[in-house]
Structure 1
Amino acid sequence: MTYSLDTLITSGGASAAPRTGLSRFAHETAIVLGLVGMVFWLIALISYSPQDAAFSTSGTGGLTANWGGRLGALLADANYFLFGFSAWWPFAAAVRAWLTSLAQWMRGEGRADSQGHFSRTRIAFWLALALLLCASCALEWSRLYRFEGKLPDHAGGALGFIVGPLGVKWLGFTGSGLVFVALVVVGAAVVFRFSWSHVAERLGARLYGLVEARREKREIAEDVALGQQAARLREEVLQEERVEIEEHHPVPVLIEPLVLDVPKSERVAKERQKPLFMELPDSKLPQVDLLDGPTGRQETVSNETLEMTSRLIEKKLKDFGVEVRVVLAQPGPVITRYEIEPATGVKGSQIVNLAKDLARSLSLVSIRVIETIPGKNFMALELPNAKRQSIRLSEILGSQVYNEAKSM
């Protein structure tokens, strides 16, 4: 255990007066003699032997085994006879007092003799030391009696033989143990001037540091293991077949221009060239002029809408597992016709069966599927326009396509 100079100085009272030459010499002499005495006391306690002649034993008559000779044997026998193994408490208290005196000398202060021999600090020290010895000897007598063979008398010495039975008689075996342990704890704190809370804090900090150090070492070891594993994986040569993916560029959709002016038939041209003052010849059919003429063209489907709808048709059919390609878009006044080219292996019945699902995915009421287009290997989808245009009967009857039809 280490001590700081601040904890070794006696608190309370006025500061010590400056030292004179004589008092300083006396202080230094006391420090040196105290050190020699404590060393002699220590070797006497360490080298104690029951075979040496002393107060409690006559010995074997041989050479003294104690390192301190006959005086050391007497000193050790007296300590162990009176206090048992608790004799180490007075020695530890003497070491503490010597360190306090050494700290005062290093600070240039004289001994605090002017404060009175029986100051409150010294009274507390001696009272705490007495309680510590009584409690320790009693615990030794009641709990460590198996070590009596190594002592000149009972475990706990003569003091334990007196205090121990009294404590067991009045407090019981368990109660006396609790009380004596509490007295040892309090007495040690007062004699050696330390706080058990500080001891607990330092012990907890040390244990926490050890746990954190072990955790850091474990994490470092795990990181090293993961790094080595990753290095081994990088060293393995992986041969993978390279698959070249061809980029699919959609073929632009061919969009036919919307027919704004329907070519007129020869019949309409002849009917317009009628004479002013001659009667009209007999005709089986009424003149086309009797019908209302065509109105101006309304808004048509834009090319951007046709392109977007074409790509949307391809995507929705692909979602259903059918791959097609829109090759032509023919906008009309009422519907727009999209000619599609099915991929290899796609049957026309698959597209026909998906007509309702495709209409629902495109948010339309219905879609007409044309399976066969004369002269082409394509199919067609007819989608209704968002805005329908009106078609006059005169426009149909007066068109060149209608008059040149074979059915006419």
Structure 2
Amino acid sequence: MSNRKLLNHLSGVQKLLEVGIIISAFVAIFITLSLFTFSPVDPSWSQQQWVAEIQNSGGRVGAWIADILFFGFGFMAYLIPVIIVSFAWAILWKPSFSLDVDFLNLSLRIVGFIFTFFSLSALIALNVSDYFYYPSGGLVGDILAQSMLGFFSLVAVNLILLTFLISGTTLLFGFSWIRLIDGIGEYTLNFIAWLGNLPATLNEMKEKRETGEDQRLFEKQQSLQDKLEKKQQKQTEKENKRLAKIAEKESQIEVDEQDEEIDFSHSFEQDNQPDDAFLGTNFIDQQEEQLPELNIDNIEWQAETDEAQLEVEEPPVVKKQAKTDFSHLPEHARPAERFVAETNIAPLPSIDLLDRPDKKENPVSQQELDNAARLVESKLLEFKIKADVVNVLPGPVITRFELDLAPGMKVSTVSSLEKDLARALSAMSVRVVDQIPGKSVIALELPNRHREIVYISEVLDCTKFHENKSALTMVLGADISGSPVVVDLAKMPHLLVAGTTGSGKSVGVNCMLVSLLYKSSPEDLRMILIDPKMLELNVYEGIPHLLTEVVTDMKDAANALRWCVGEMERRYKLLAEIGVRNLAGYNSAIKKAKAAGEPIYDPLWKPGDSMAESAPELEKLPTIVVVVDEFADMMMIVGKKCEELITRIAQKARAAGIHLILATQRPSVDVITGLIKANIPTRIAFQVSSKIDSRTILGQQGAETLLGHGDMLYMPPGSGMPTRVHGAFVDDHEVHKVVADWKKRGQPNYIQEILAGDADLDMLLPGEQSEGEEEIDALFDEVVAFITETRKVSISSIQRKFRIGYNRSARLVDQLQAQGVISAPSGANSNRDVLAPPPVKD
């Protein structure tokens, strides 16, 4: 009975030990989670503050425990769970309970643990920077290190602590440093001996390899000889079958016919003689250099090669590229006579003309993205904004963090803190996207530390650009995730571009023009380039796509726009006569009519319009793109008339195939008027200086937070939400290469009437009058008599005298100045002198 009770007692003790191990494991895991999810903003022992939610996985208890451990032990706090598990394993993990304890060994291990733990804490406190606002070695290590520094120097303290650390490690783990030194010495001696025997080992390996090569060579030659013997046997069987067939045919011939006997053995021996000679060759005595002549592959396809040599080899036919015929085009759509170089020229420039990017892959790891997301959440918490990062989208220039706001949190609260968040996150600028279509989250866009350049060759070489069949396909760059952004100008149908100096606006316009040159030939696209700065677009001078020289005089620019309006009206008349709705339908109808052998003749032709006796055939019409690089300068010089012409083109020219690209660096309301904005819904905003400029171009803020150097907001047609695009970069030498490549294909056919429209009365549009044809007011003579008699002239005096409105009175004053009756305003008060003599009294 006593033995059974003792066994039951031991079993109960063992159960308690196992429970102790389980509890120790739980405590270690709980402390580990509390330490690794520690947040300095959580309420704890060392600080008290309100937060929306405690971040620590251990809750309030975990936050207190982590704070106390970090305060007391610093970085050594991470070793406490390991120490707990180790002690539980050493003390509680017993297969059977025993009271026999080696107290001397236990005491030495306890002393070793104290030496190791305290010396390591002091070393960390001396040599590692602080963790948050806690000492790196904790309160224990900091007190010990500072106490010793009062008696010893820094070097001496480190040496003493290292001595305690090594001694404590020896006592704690029973580690023998002498055995370690002996083991290192033994391995070192063995390594030196191995190095000494290395040449002999290499020679032995070389001999084995040569022996193996000789054996493989012999086996290969033997295999080749076996193949030749099989081949000879098959030829013998084939010849025997042929002789048997001939003998069978000879037996059917009449006996009286004496045929000459044919000896086949001689030919058979001759046929087989090369094989016999070949078999007599001694393969083993041949040198290694002669082995390629005996390649099995050569023997297997030798017969096929002999048969192929019997065929007549025809010389390769060199296909020359057909010269493109532009004779069917109208004058303004046809380049001048082209010349073709000696080498073949592709229909469009090669992508090899552009620079290829040097791929330096620096992918951001998932750990870095997670750390950045946690940083964003903590900085938002500092401003009392509770939000969770649900998605991170890294891109070449920026990284977008999608935030799920807590219930009741307003988006306007986050938007109003853009500058504060940029300061807190040490970023150049932060853009808050308050609405993402199809998602219930907002986004925070932060610039990357290392910005990647989006080369135009990358975007032009994408599948999306090649598969787009539109002749007006343009590339803008890459979106926030790095995917290419390809647009169609025909669907816009006009584009308004704005941005300050240095924002990348001119590079963006060059990128659009280069992409058009990579997509369209002069047969499909013609262009008018207006460049007030005389520097940006002059590089395109001489390409066959131009309708006229690059326009640099703003008076000529007004004439070019006037010509475009006249061409638009002419095209609309043609569309109405043929019965189609747009230029694509017109070109399709012309093509079908020619294919059917019933061409369509010009319905607008009248006798006397040309020297021809009948109306000419209608030809395909190209699309016309008008590019204005600095729209504000043209508005300043030409004025209201330029705005009217642009408005007319923007309102009607889509169906006629005429499209506008207007760029300006001053997006103010006097340049981008409400009438222009209403007719050009597609806009691109580069970096601007203020929110007002951003609202002027986009109708909303956001462009002022862009990063510059091609960073843009693209608002597609029919959408109120802009898309952030990182503009593609095209260098000047790349543009020169593409232009030079197009100049090889042909010369432009300029139309002189485009710039000389001001001298041609036929260029006046319906409802428009030339200067000097304004109708004289009915009161003109009475006003002349009045001012010549009083010798004074002013708008207000004419208003009072003749009881008319201000506008009519001002027009009368302008007419008086135009006729020379009065002088121009002069002086500070803008007084006018009456030049006409007073009336003669009878």
Q: TM-score range by the shorter chain?
A: 0.3 to 0.5
TM normalised by structure 1 equals 0.43
TM-score (norm 2): 0.22
Over alpha carbons, which structure has the higher Rg?
A: 1
